Amino acid sequence: MKKIFYVLIAATLLIVGCENSDNIPVIDDAAMRIEVLHPSATRATETSFEDGDVIGLFVTEYIGETASPLQISGNWANNVATTFEDALWTPAKKVYWSENKMDVYGYYPYMKPTSIDEQLWSVQLDQSTPETTDALSGYEASDFLWAKAEGVSQEDGEVQLQFKHICSKLVVKLVRGETFEGDFPDNTVVYLHSTVPTATMDFEKGIVSKDIYGEVTPIKAKRLSSDTFEVILIPQSIQSRLPFVEIEMNGIAYMTYDLFSYLPGVQYSVSITLNSSPEQIEVEIGGNIENWE
């Protein structure tokens, strides 16, 4: 995901949520410019977005000093798709400044929502799938990012959208115990158990909430290296000791049991020590790391 650049949001002029007629002049200097910052960026010149990534943008206009609520349509700008390509963000439309203050919302990955506060969404059940020319990898498609700039105006210059992670992340580190022989084989697979992968999404508040009607389903983790795996999940609490992490290799399954609370935007680490017997297994849960990269 490469360098950070300004977004010149490309579209027709919108007035009170409606498209402007062709005979009204447009001044280029009135076009909104947006600086997009990925959660992993430590400086404005860095990003972890890649060519082909698409963010969605909503813009609302204040009425006096009162912010307008975000709606599925009828905003100053509605779900403007903006694509990162060749070190530039290329928008599908151009959005211009109002004389009033504005709120700017950004999210990733791009979708076509049907609801602002109850959009159904799910992390991928197989986060090990690779990226293709037509689809994100299973892991990246699960990583919902959100940003909001409040009360901005043309006098402020560029609008800075600092994205943040909305879901939770678990990193699993496998450790060879005293009786474990050899390296971890290529066919090693890690599953996260006892979580609900479906949620409702609120674009205005930037939160995802576990689907109260969702079913608990295993999630296959992405493999980072021979001994490290990671998985993105919906924030939720596991209140009783249930199946936690399962490791499969060479026809042997190692199952761990635990209870856990996953908070939004937080990365957790867990070390699992394996021995020759699936019954000899140790689990050590590490500290929390907020704003993972």
The region, left, alpha or beta by phi > 0 then psi within -120 to 50, assigned to residue 142 is alpha
Indicate if the pLDDT at residue 20 is higher than 60.
no
Q: Give me the residue label for tokens 């580190």.
A: 173
**C-alpha of 250 from chain center:** 33
Indicate if the pLDDT at residue 290 is higher than 50.
yes
In this prediction, residue 4 carries a pLDDT of: 45
Q: How confident is the model at residue 203 (pLDDT cuts 50, 70, 90)?
A: very high
pLDDT per position as a tens digit, 30-49:
888 888 888 986 554 456 88
Q: Which two tokens stand for residue 145?
A: 């990012």
In this prediction, residue 287 carries a pLDDT of: 57
User: Over pLDDT 90: what percentage of the chain?
Assistant: 65
Global pTM value: 0.85
In this prediction, residue 286 carries a pLDDT of: 64
Q: What does the mean pLDDT of the chain come to?
A: 86
The set of residues, in sequence order, having a beta carbon less than 8 Å from that of 54 and lying 6+ positions away, is: 81, 82, 83, 84, 108, 109, 110
Range scoring the smallest mean pLDDT among 26-30, 109-113, 181-185, 235-239: 26-30
Pairing of strands 145-152, 164-165: antiparallel
What does the pLDDT average to over 237-250?
A: 93
What does the pLDDT average to over 173-179?
A: 91
CB count in 10 Å sphere of residue 222:
22
What does the pLDDT average to over 159-176?
A: 94
Domains (range + CATH), the chain = 6-109+144-165 (2.60.40), 168-290 (2.60.40.2630)
What does the pLDDT average to over 185-198?
A: 97
What does the pLDDT average to over 57-85?
A: 95
**C-alpha of 20 from chain center:** 33
The set of residues, in sequence order, having a beta carbon less than 8 Å from that of 77 and lying 6+ positions away, is: 9, 11, 14, 57, 58, 59, 93, 95
